[in-house]
Structure 1
Amino acid sequence: MSDELTDVLVMGLPTSAAAAREHVDALLRAQFFSGNEGIRDDIVWADALLVTSELVTNACRHGGGLTGFSAKIHGDELILSVADASTEFPVARPCPPGQYTVGGYGWPMVSRLAKSLVVISTATGKRIEAVVPLM
């Protein structure tokens, strides 16, 4: 893989997390994975799609709607940018040991899978930039 930056072509915003995953899947297939590397690729691929899905789902569910999306490959990293209409930054909700809740697991999971995770205030809400390692 070269160090060149490659964008996925997005015709308008994805309408759902599934549509965003399809864009990222197409980018990975076209620009990164050859399909011959085996199980490591499968796990890394799943991580990339999971982070994409969580960020877009949270933007739609908690962020007032998706307002921006891009996916790029730079070297051996997937760079995701997901913007929404909310000024509220995501937070991990603490859960006492032994008590389980519905929801609240996505942001901590994204934080573990991403090499870098930055939340940026914008004039219309916020943008989350995640760097997901592909190796």
Structure 2
Amino acid sequence: MPRNAAAARDVVTRLLETQFCALGGEGPADVVVADALLVTSELVTNAVRHGGGLTGFAAEITDDGLLLTVADASTRAPVTEKRDPGVASVGGYGWLLVRRLATRVSVTYFPGGKHIVALVALS
């Protein structure tokens, strides 16, 4: 299991390279890879910073795209902060980005934590 967001991005990068090199075809466009890595980074960072620590991580390629599962030790729901458009602020955009970039996102709660599953289309 990766220890941080950078290590999780490395896992996803290797998975994408391996999958698309094995197929012998072109891989996803750079912008699609960037979106997949951003979703990975945000989910893992949120688990570490706000979720009581990363307790599980999985990444797999399915027919629908990149399926990410991130588990943490918190039963609190992810939060999208309300913003005052007239005030510049730093941070707090992670969950909003995940929901915008992923095709599908679900949160499953269990005693002692939660799993967030996000599907990022690769085409």
Query: Would you call these one fold, judging by a TM-score over 0.5?
Result: yes
For the residues of structure 2 that align with 1:89 and 1:18, how far apart are their CA atoms? 24
Q: Provide the rounded CA distance (Å) in 1 between the counterparts of 2:55 and 2:86.
A: 37
Post-superposition CA distance 1:16-59 (Å, at most 9, x none): 1111000000000011366746xx61000110011000000110
Q: Deviations over 1:69-103 (max 9, x none)?
A: 00011114100000000111101001122112221
Q: Distance in 2 between matches of 1:123 and 1:17?
A: 24
Query: Does 2:106 match 1:118?
Result: yes
What does residue 10 of structure 1 align with? Answer: none
CA contact (8 A) 2:20 2:26 kept: no
* Number of residue pairs the alignment of both structures matches: 121
1:77 aligned to 44, 59, 65, which one? 65
Gap runs ≥5 in structure 2: none
RMSD over aligned CA atoms reads 1.5
Structure 1 residue 128 corresponds to structure 2 residue 116:
yes
**TM-score where L is the length of structure 2:** 0.92
Partner of residue 43, structure 1: 31
Instruction: Check conservation: 1:81, 1:127, Cα contact below 8 A.
Output: yes
SS in 2 for 1:67: strand
CA distance in 1, matches of 2:88, 2:53: 27
Q: Is the 8 A contact 1:92 1:104 kept in 2?
A: yes
Where in structure 1 are there 5+ consecutive unaligned residues? 1-12
CA distance in structure 1 between the partners assigned to 2:91 and 2:15 by the alignment: 29
Q: TM-score, normalised by structure 1?
A: 0.84
Deviating beyond 6 angstroms after TM superposition, the runs of 4 or more aligned structure 1 residues are none
2:54 paired with 1:60:
no
SS at match of 1:20: helix
- Of Structure 1 and Structure 2, which has the larger fraction of its residues in helix? 2
SS in 1 for 2:41: helix
| Identity %, equivalent residues | 57
SS at match of 2:91: coil
1:102 aligns with 2:90: yes
